[in-house]
Amino acid sequence: MNARKNIGRRDFIRTSAAALAAASLTGRGELRAAAESKSRVVRVHSSEATRPWDYSANAPWDHTVEPRDGKPGKIAERYFDYINDEVVDSMLERGLRELTGSGTATEALRKLMPGVAPGRKITIKLNLNNATYDPEITNNRMDQTMPLVNSVIGLLHDGLGIEQENLTILDASRWAHPVIMKGRCRFPQVNWIDSTVPVPDRWDKSETVTFTRDEPLPGGAFWMPKAYTGADHIINMFLMKNHGCGITGAMKNHFGSIPSPKKLHEGLGDKSYIADLCNTPSIRDKVRLNLADALFANWHNNVWCPRPWNTFPEQSPNSLLMAADPVAIDSVMLDHIAEEIDTQGDNAPAWVRDCLNHHYFLEYAMTEHGLGVFERKPYKRIEYKVVEI
Instruction: Note the pLDDT of residue 273.
Output: 96
DSSP conformation letters of 301-367: -SSS-----SSSSSSS--EEEEES-HHHHHHHHHHHHHHHHHH-GGGS-HHHHHGGG--HHHHHHHH
pTM: 0.89
Cα distance between residue 42 and residue 5, in whole Å: 37
Instruction: Note the pLDDT of residue 127.
Output: 95
Dihedral angle sign, alpha carbons of residues 227, 231, 235, 240:
positive
Residue 108's contacts (CB-CB under 8 Å, 6 or more residues apart) are 96, 97, 99, 100, 102
309-314, long-range: CB < 8 A, 24+ apart:
309/340, 310/340, 310/343, 310/344, 311/336, 311/339, 311/340, 311/343, 312/45, 313/45, 313/47, 314/47, 314/50, 314/52
Burial group, residue 15, by CB count within 10 angstroms (0-12, 13-18, 19+): exposed
Instruction: Note the pLDDT of residue 26.
Output: 42
Cα distance between residue 372 and residue 331, in whole Å: 10
Q: Which domain holds residue 180?
A: 2-388
Cα distance between residue 146 and residue 132, in whole Å: 16
Cα distance between residue 312 and residue 339, in whole Å: 11
The answer to whether the beta carbons of residues 353 and 341 sit under 8 Å apart is: yes
Domain CATH number, residue 60 = 3.40.50.11440
Instruction: Note the pLDDT of residue 265.
Output: 84
Closest CA relative to residue 324, chosen from 181, 9, 45, 114: 114
Low-confidence residues of the chain: pLDDT under 70: 1-37, 59-76
Residue 60's contacts (CB-CB under 8 Å, 6 or more residues apart) are none
254-312: pLDDT as tens digits: 999 999 998 998 888 999 999 999 999 999 999 999 999 999 999 988 777 899 999 99
Cα distance between residue 12 and residue 365, in whole Å: 16
Cα distance between residue 214 and residue 156, in whole Å: 38
DSSP conformation letters of 230-271: T-SEEEEEEEEE--TTS-BSTTGGGGGGSS-GGGG-TTGGGS
Instruction: Note the pLDDT of residue 33.
Output: 43
Closest CA relative to residue 16, chosen from 368, 382, 324: 368
Any alpha helices (H) in 117-262, and if so which ranges? 146-154, 199-202, 226-229
Cα distance between residue 340 and residue 327, in whole Å: 20
138-149: pLDDT as tens digits: 778 889 999 999
Number of domain units in the chain: 1
